[in-house]
């Protein structure tokens, strides 16, 4: 039997290539100078595609793959994929939820502690010899006893909530619908929640529905003692409004793992001392990335071996 031809749209880790090398013919698009020419050449035989859910794939690329059956997407977010398009064309799409929950929750607490206790700044202070020449670094904020409001209490949000409780924080959450059997107070208004919390946490997915929902009004509700954390998608925050709120100290600080136009980080953010920045590292541990790759592979293999996929999007 001929091996299914698979298009790898964005760079993928070696473990994915290795796991598929024997049973599939892999075609990488990202390293081709003439992408249109390459698609014209291999497009007609492609039956599966591997994409990054955030970077996604344009519908015009998918249009050029007439025999495409399924898309295995890397990541829990799939805002870069037009799911309605896939469903309308009868394309199966899969993603990689759950396996990254712990890594995401870990980095989130790390960012919160880093921001509250000014760990990056204190590290620089120590390295520069200022402890010895100028004296103690100074006093900082603390998580204990504070309230965190989580926007997007899904798989990742719930792991963050559990860890915040271990740090003796109160947890509340915002979501369009109140979830049954969730032990935290619910808010149906993001601004109302921002007003009541010390820490505003974004774990919302990207896409049109959440674009720029963290805006000037929300930051003003959070107020000068409030901290903002974004581990969801950069597009969910109005970045210029966030920068302005930080510059004018209308909020106390921000810890950001995601940005509007990654990997670009606005110079105005780099110039601020009340922020902790991370280059979209939420799921970037050896173990978690291996598990995400493994799920990409298992979904793809399931489809082409005639079994139900493990984690479908549609
Ligand atoms: C990855 C992510 O950082 O799962 C997601 O939605 O954004 C992350 O886990 C990303 O897929 C790697 O580029």
pLDDT of residue 164: 98
Interacting residues of 314 by C-beta distance below 8 A, sequence separation 6+: 83, 86, 87, 91, 92, 93
Q: What range does the domain containing 254 cover?
A: 101-277
Q: Say yes or no: 39 and 168 in one domain.
A: no
Q: Say yes or no: 175 and 268 in one domain.
A: yes
Pocket probe mutation, ligand 1, options 11, 30, 53, max atoms within 8 Å of Cβ:
53
Ligand 1 in contact with 100 (CB < 6 A)?
A: yes
Pocket probe mutation, ligand 1, options 15, 30, 74, 101, max atoms within 8 Å of Cβ:
74
Would 309 be classed as within a structural domain? no
The CATH code of the domain that includes 161 is 3.40.50.720
Ligand 1 in contact with 101 (CB < 6 A)?
A: no
- Mean pLDDT, to the nearest integer, of 263-290? 98
Residue 304 CB neighbours (<10 A): 17
Tell whether the model's pLDDT for residue 27 goes beyond 90.
yes
Nearest CA to ligand 1 atom 6: 77
Q: Say yes or no: 189 and 50 in one domain.
A: no
Q: Say yes or no: 49 and 111 in one domain.
A: no
What is the C-alpha to C-alpha distance for residues 23 and 28, in angstroms, rounded to an integer?
Answer: 16
pTM of the model: 0.96
**Token pair listed for 150:** 């989580």
Ligand 1 mean position, distance from CA 281 (Å): 8
Q: pLDDT of 206-257, one tens digit each?
A: 999 999 999 999 999 999 999 999 999 999 999 999 999 999 999 999 999 9
Would 312 be classed as within a structural domain? no
Would 216 be classed as within a structural domain? yes
Q: Say yes or no: 245 and 167 in one domain.
A: yes
pLDDT of residue 159: 98
Would 138 be classed as within a structural domain? yes
Active site residue 262: yes
Q: Say yes or no: 228 and 258 in one domain.
A: yes
Would 37 be classed as within a structural domain? yes
Structurally, how many domains does the chain consist of? Answer: 2
Ligand 1 mean position, distance from CA 233 (Å): 9
Would 136 be classed as within a structural domain? yes
Would 314 be classed as within a structural domain? no
pLDDT of residue 1: 73
Of residues 233, 239, 260, 298, which has the active-site annotation?
Answer: 233
Element at 37 (helix H, strand E): helix 35-42
Q: pLDDT of 127-179, one tens digit each?
A: 999 999 999 999 999 999 999 999 999 999 999 999 999 999 999 999 999 99
- Mean pLDDT, to the nearest integer, of 102-119? 98
- Mean pLDDT, to the nearest integer, of 280-297? 98
DSSP string of 20-31, one letter each residue:
HTTTSEEEESTT
Q: Say yes or no: 64 and 128 in one domain.
A: no
């Amino acid at each position: 039997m001929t091996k299914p031809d698979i298009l790898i749209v964005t760079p993928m880790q070696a473990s994915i290539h290795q796991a598929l090398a024997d049973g599939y013919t892999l075609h990488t698009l990202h390293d081709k100078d003439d992408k249109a020419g390459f698609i014209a050449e291999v497009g007609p035989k492609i039956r599966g595609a591997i994409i990054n859910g955030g970077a996604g794939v344009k519908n015009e690329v998918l249009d050029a793959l007439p025999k495409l059956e399924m898309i295995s997407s890397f990541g829990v977010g799939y805002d870069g994929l037009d799911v309605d398009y896939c469903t309308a064309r009868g394309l199966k799409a899969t993603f990689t939820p759950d396996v990254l929950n712990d890594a995401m929750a870990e980095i989130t607490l790390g960012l919160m502690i880093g921001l509250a206790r000014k760990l990056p700044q204190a590290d620089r202070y120590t390295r520069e010899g200022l402890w010895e020449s100028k004296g103690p670094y100074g006093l900082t904020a603390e998580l204990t006893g504070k309230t965190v409001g989580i926007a997007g209490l899904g798989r990742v949000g719930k792991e963050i909530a559990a860890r915040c409780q271990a740090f003796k924080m109160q947890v509340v959450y915002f979501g369009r619908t109140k979830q049954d059997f969730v032990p935290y107070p619910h808010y149906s208004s993001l601004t109302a929640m921002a007003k009541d919390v010390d820490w505003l946490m974004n774990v919302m997915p990207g896409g049109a529905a959440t674009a720029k929902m963290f805006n000037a009004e929300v930051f003003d509700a959070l107020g000068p003692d409030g901290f903002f954390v974004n581990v969801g998608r950069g597009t969910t925050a109005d970045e210029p409004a966030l920068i302005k709120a930080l510059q004018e100290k209308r909020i106390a600080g921000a810890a950001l793992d995601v940005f509007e136009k990654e990997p670009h980080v606005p110079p105005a953010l780099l110039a601020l001392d009340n922020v902790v920045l991370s280059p979209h590292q939420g799921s970037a541990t050896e173990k978690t990335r291996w598990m995400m790759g493994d799920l990409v592979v298992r979904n793809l293999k399931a489809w082409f071996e005639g079994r139900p996929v493990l984690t479908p999007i549609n």
